Chains A and B, each alone.
Chain A
Amino acid sequence: MSQPKIQKILIVNQSAPYSSGSAKESLDLALAAGTFEQDVSILFTGDACYQLLTAQDPKEVDSKNLNQMLKVLPIYGVEKLFIDEQSLLDRNIKHIDSDLRITKISASETRELYQNASTVFRF
């Protein structure tokens, strides 16, 4: 059996963490793709910036802490995390969780991410 081609997968997150299942589902896909040794990048844009706030305590709304779950991504080989800097500025978000090692990128770099991916999933 031939070795399957490695896909460059771009997962685009644009949803706030707890009001819908999108953020959790995107994480599930990232972990699955990482497990199968695919080349995974995750981009946070729009309201997904809110996923990166520190000191979230979602047991108040009976959810798991997605911010903590994002920290396991490197263990699954998912290390390319990006955030659209303009989205942060638009929302006056000054502090994101520094444990996450996310790279801030410009609109043109964002466009490049989309162009270079072989598959794009939006959540």
Chain B
Amino acid sequence: MILHTLNKAQSHTDLNQQLTNTCSNQDSVLLIEDGVYQLLDPTIFSRTDHWSFSAKNIFALTNDATARGINQADLEHSIVNISFISYLEFVELAASHTKTISWY
């Protein structure tokens, strides 16, 4: 049970592919910094060659999303199971997973 943090948009294809190859169906992915831009494009979340296909849970850091003009309410509903979390919840996630891997 791994927590993967991802801080790049989908334009970084190699990085996203590496995460896709690594992520198991027990793992969680947390979008931070420029990673939150991925939420603007719901089509990638229905692709089988995207890490979201295997991730058990997907989180996004609220502070980074708000800073970049991405609001939970504006997102299209086709992305299911995204939880927006605070820094404190980030800490809790890190503590509740066996390890954290940073994708950057």
How many residue pairs at the A-B interface have CB separations less than 8 Å?
Answer: 57
Count of residues in B whose CB is under 8 Å from the partner chain? 19
List the B residue with the shortest CB-CB distance to A57: B66
Please provide the chain A residues from 58 to 112 with a CB less than 8 Å away from any CB of chain B in the complex.
58-61, 63, 67, 90-93
> Which one, B23-31, B32-40, B88-96, is touching chain A?
B32-40
Contact surface of B with A, Cβ cutoff 8 Å: 7, 9-11, 33-34, 37, 40-43, 63-64, 66-71
- The verdict on A92 contacting B34 (CB below 8 Å), with A18-B68, A60-B64, A63-B67 known, is no
Contact among B34, B42, B43 with A16 in the assembled complex (CB-CB below 8 Å): B34
Contact check, B67 vs A61: say whether CB atoms are below 8 A apart: yes
Contact check, B11 vs A47: say whether CB atoms are below 8 A apart: yes
A interface, over-half SS: loop
- Bound CA–CA A21/B44 (angstroms): 28
- The verdict on A19 contacting B33 (CB below 8 Å), with A47-B11, A60-B63, A92-B43 known, is yes
Measured between beta carbons, the chain A residues less than 8 angstroms from B34 are 16, 18-19, 47, 50
Measured between beta carbons, the chain B residues less than 8 angstroms from A67 are 69
Count of residues in A whose CB is under 8 Å from the partner chain? 22
Contact surface of A with B, Cβ cutoff 8 Å: 16-19, 46-47, 50, 53-61, 63, 67, 90-93
List the A residue with the shortest CB-CB distance to B64: A61
Contact check, A56 vs B68: say whether CB atoms are below 8 A apart: yes
- Starting from the known contacts A47-B37, A59-B67, A61-B63, 5 additional A-B residue pairs (CB-CB under 8 Å) come to A16-B9, A50-B34, A55-B69, A60-B67, A91-B10
List the B residue with the shortest CB-CB distance to A97: B69
